[in-house]
């Protein structure tokens, strides 16, 4: 894609099987891929400053068009210099289109060819989100990467409903391309549920359009994980290899390791920060539920081999458990810093394995370590929380 028009171009520098190590060139710096995007719904990653997020290794975040449209409003953000200046985040910013929020509001949304009609969850005001409005809002917000407005059907939807969502998303993609800001990159979104024929057809049609990247949407919306993996294993390698591939709203560390092997370059998910606020942290040999009594007298850091602020400064599991049980607000920052570092390290290690031409070996060893190391924490420990790309839902 021409960087002089959208500000974005992509190059693949190494491959290992279907896995790719690339560079996404943007107006706000070069992003090494694979990359994970922390979710900054309201232009802030919960409990963290922009500087905190930078220190975890992240160089890209995703913000929420729907929520910023309602509050504080895109005009105000534009007056303040756009999201980069407004949020103090100097690196790459993605904004979603609002389609996932329309999906999550369910029965309160009326879908038509024009767009999504619904009432604001803040004050009940009637709103209409069209492809043109989604592009207008994202243009004012000034993100580096905008997402087209799409229709995200629920997991298990019948084929006619999936086909209708694909066709409408295609038509809306054309409208988004016509309405987008010139300086902004735009990604098309592939829908189709777990119907691989629909998915492949949609991906082929999107590849004919001048999108800067291709996103895989409509996953982790109620379908069995095995079905998601089956579709991604066929779809990922079939997507146009000239453009970056973005898997939206997914997922667990295992999801990410598997999807990189199917050619995915970009990810986002609330899991590292949402799970942190619920006391669950990811470590190299499994996971820790910090409230459990086994950590009451534990002097070790969360992970002795971790380089995050929380571990590097020596905060003990015992102290962190105390903060969590006492519900001291500091715990949300300390655990979120750790989890985001873990995710950033995970994709960095995947990239290194790709560059060495050893991704398959690394993937097998990493997945086996996850399998062996996942402990039964017991004591009412939370299950892995529902996947979503929006911290406010």
pLDDT higher than threshold 50 for residue 20: yes
Question: Which range has the worst mean pLDDT, 20-29, 38-47, 98-107, 358-367?
Answer: 98-107
Residue 173 contacts residue 188 (beta carbons within 8 Å) = yes
pLDDT band at 322 (very low <50, low <70, confident <90, very high): very high
- Beta-carbon contacts of residue 225 (< 8 Å; ≥ 6 apart): none
pLDDT band at 4 (very low <50, low <70, confident <90, very high): very low
Q: Strand (E) positions, 47-86?
A: 60-63
Enter the tokens of residue 153.
């059907």
Residue 176 vs residues 14, 16, 100, 134, 249: alpha-carbon distances, Å? 32, 34, 16, 8, 21
pLDDT band at 387 (very low <50, low <70, confident <90, very high): very low
pTM reported for the whole predicted model: 0.95
Residue 21 contacts residue 33 (beta carbons within 8 Å) = yes
- Rounded distance between C-alpha atoms, residue 202 and residue 163, angstroms: 9
Higher pLDDT, 390 or 363: 363
Q: What is the pLDDT of residues 274-320, one digit of tens each?
A: 999 999 999 998 899 999 999 999 999 999 999 999 999 999 999 99
Average pLDDT over residues 259-281: 98
Residue 122 contacts residue 174 (beta carbons within 8 Å) = no
Residues in the chain: 393
Q: What is the pLDDT of residues 117-173, one digit of tens each?
A: 988 888 988 999 999 999 999 999 999 999 999 999 999 999 999 999 999 999 999
Q: What is the pLDDT of residue 373?
A: 78
Q: What is the pLDDT of residue 381?
A: 42
pLDDT higher than threshold 90 for residue 385: no
CA angle 106, 259, 156 (to 5 degrees): 30
Q: What is the pLDDT of residue 383?
A: 40
Q: What is the pLDDT of residue 378?
A: 57
Burial of 132 (0-12, 13-18, 19+ CB in 10 A): middle
Residue 150 contacts residue 99 (beta carbons within 8 Å) = yes
Q: Count CB-CB contacts under 10 A for residue 54.
A: 16
Maximum Cα–Cα distance for the chain, whole Å?
A: 61
- Beta-carbon contacts of residue 392 (< 8 Å; ≥ 6 apart): 41, 42, 64, 67
Beta strands at 19-26 and 35-37: parallel, antiparallel or unpaired: unpaired
- Rounded distance between C-alpha atoms, residue 240 and residue 285, angstroms: 35
| Per-position DSSP letters for 343-380, written without gaps between them | HHHHHHHHHHHHHTT-HHHHHHHHHHHHHHH-----TT
pLDDT band at 384 (very low <50, low <70, confident <90, very high): very low
Residue 336 contacts residue 272 (beta carbons within 8 Å) = yes
Under DSSP, is residue 271 helix (H, G, I), strand (E, B) or coil?
helix
- Rounded distance between C-alpha atoms, residue 275 and residue 138, angstroms: 28
Residue 155 contacts residue 162 (beta carbons within 8 Å) = no
Residue 330 vs residues 11, 274, 275, 324, 388: alpha-carbon distances, Å? 40, 15, 15, 9, 24
Question: Where are the chain's structural domains?
Answer: 9-269, 275-373
Counting residues of the chain whose pLDDT is more than 70, the rounded percentage is 94
User: Which residue carries 């655990």 as its tokens?
Assistant: 335
Torsion of CA 364, 369, 371, 372, to 10 degrees: 130
Residues with catalytic roles = 96, 268
Q: What is the pLDDT of residue 301?
A: 98
Q: Which CATH number fits domain 9-269: 2.60.40.10, 3.20.20.105, 3.30.450.20, 1.25.40.20?
A: 3.20.20.105
């Amino acid at each position: 894609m021409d960087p002089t028009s959208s500000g974005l171009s992509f190059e693949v520098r190494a491959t290992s099987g279907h896995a790719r190590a690339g560079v996404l060139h943007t107006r706000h710096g070069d992003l090494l891929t694979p990359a994970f995007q922390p979710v900054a719904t309201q232009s802030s990653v919960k409990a963290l400053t922009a500087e905190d997020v930078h220190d975890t290794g992240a160089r890209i975040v995703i913000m929420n068009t729907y929520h910023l449209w309602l509050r504080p409003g895109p005009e105000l953000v534009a007056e303040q210099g756009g999201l980069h200046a407004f949020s103090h985040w100097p690196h790459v910013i993605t904004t979603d289109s609002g389609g996932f929020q329309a999906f999550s509001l369910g029965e309160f949304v009326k879908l038509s060819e024009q767009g999504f009609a619904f009432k604001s969850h803040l004050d009940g005001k009637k709103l209409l989100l069209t492809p043109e409005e989604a592009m207008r809002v994202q243009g004012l917000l000034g993100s580096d990467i905008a997402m087209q407005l799409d229709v995200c059907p629920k997991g298990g939807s019948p084929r006619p409903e999936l086909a209708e969502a694909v066709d409408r998303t295609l038509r809306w993609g054309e409208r988004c391309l016509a309405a987008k800001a010139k300086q902004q990159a735009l990604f098309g979104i592939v829908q189709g549920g777990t119907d691989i024929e629909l998915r492949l057809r949609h991906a082929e049609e999107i590849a004919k359009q001048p999108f800067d990247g291709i996103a895989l949407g409509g996953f982790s919306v109620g379908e069995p994980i095995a079905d998601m993996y089956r579709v991604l294993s066929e779809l990922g390698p079939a997507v146009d290899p000239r453009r970056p591939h973005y898997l939206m709203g997914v997922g667990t560390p295992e999801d990410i390791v598997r999807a990189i092997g199917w050619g995915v370059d970009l990810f986002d998910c609330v899991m590292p920060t949402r799970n942190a606020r619920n006391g669950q942290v990811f470590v190299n040999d499994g996971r820790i539920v910090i409230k459990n009594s086994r950590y009451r007298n534990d002097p070790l850091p969360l992970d002795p081999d971790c380089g995050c602020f929380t571990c590097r400064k020596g905060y003990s599991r015992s102290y962190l458990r105390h903060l969590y049980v006492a519900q001291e607000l500091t715990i949300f920052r300390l655990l979120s810093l750790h989890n985001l570092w873990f995710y950033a390290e995970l994709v960095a290690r995947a990239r290194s394995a790709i560059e060495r031409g050893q991704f398959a070996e690394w993937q097998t060893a990493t997945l086996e370590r996850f399998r062996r190391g996942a402990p039964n924490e017991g004591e009412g420990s939370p299950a892995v929380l529902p996947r979503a790309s929006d911290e406010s839902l």
